[in-house]
Structure 1
């Protein structure tokens, strides 16, 4: 298995499958739109280019963010840029619930990062790197807001892990 980050970093182990699904949807959309336009007899080179560009936009929108973490840092790469924070120098953590629940993490250097908490739940190595950084931030006294949010998230992740172990062992 190839790694895309620096040595010692952890990444989202489900990203490749999600990216493959997003690109498959974009290709299917392109093929179907070209086929329908061709069947209607209105397909021209300009319209084919338009459908291809629109399919590329669909693929870009559906492409999931790539999350990676290492000792003291957490990064989220979008199709347009990379957001990175220092987990060992966190200043604030907020969780927003609703249709698209997400965590907002800020470090003392002013960097900001948004992250879906389900990614941390599905990737124990990412959670471990973040949790280690949070403990360092607490020890240094930089994390002044949101420690309870991460503590609750840690309990949720632990509970889900226990349930998964029980299901796998047939005890649940």
Structure 2
């Protein structure tokens, strides 16, 4: 009879995708905001004596729209890929076949990744800064793209982003240790 060994986390690591560690908290926040808005709207409308059946349906509908607007994207990575899943649909790029990386300027500086297969993903770079495993998987794939010669534009964007993430990580370590 063959002896089986229990699966450990270290043996599962290559099989399980990395994900945004703050995603669940952000979803709870979005749901909480929508529920508070719905509850307060219904309560105020009822207290003012203006609550009608149509308005009783309007407030939950508006709260659902708020929930959709506040729901964060779910970012996951694995060996050679990065996926971003929104409330409606998801997108996936091969990080080991990247062709273009851009950072859109503006209030929400989005990172746009394109691969050799025509796929495109947009994500918030702060997700990468807050999740070192996501950044590591993206960086490893981008280095493979550079080695293979597929990454033609955007290597400097990833290098700058890497420096910013490293600087922020170092500051966080110094703050936690009481030096800064």
The TM-score range, normalised by the shorter chain, is: over 0.9
Provide runs of 4+ in structure 1 moved above 6 Å.
none
Per the TM alignment, residue 97 of structure 1 is displaced from its structure 2 partner at its CA by 2.1
Separation in 1, partners of 2:45, 2:174: 52
The match for 2:155 is 147
**1:73 pairs with 2:84:** no
The equivalent of 2:125 in structure 1 is: 117
> What aligned pairs does 1:3-18 form with structure 2 within 5 A after superposition?
7-18=15-26
Which of 95, 107, 110 matches 1:99?
107
Report what 2:66 is aligned to: 58
Residue by residue over 1:30-52, the C-alpha shift from the partner in whole angstroms, topping out at 9 and shown as x without a partner, is 00110111111121222111111
Rounded to whole Å, the distance in 2 between the matches of 1:86 and 1:145 is: 15
How many Å separate the matches in 2 of 1:46 and 1:53? 11
Tell me the equivalent position of 1:3.
none
Q: Look up the match of 1:27.
A: 35
CA RMSD of aligned residues (A): 1.1
Correspondence for 2:164 = 156
Matching residue of 2:177: 169
Could you state the TM-score of these two structures normalised by the residue count of structure 2? 0.90
1:170 positional shift? 1.3
Q: Which protein is bigger by CA-based radius of gyration?
A: 2
Pick the aligned partner of 1:137 from 145, 148, 152: 145
TM-score, normalising length: structure 1: 0.94
Residue-by-residue CA offset, 1:88-109 (whole Å, 9 max, x unaligned): 0000000112211111100011
Gap runs ≥5 in structure 1: 1-5
> Between Structure 1 and Structure 2, how many residues are aligned?
167
SS of alignment partner, residue 75 of structure 1? strand
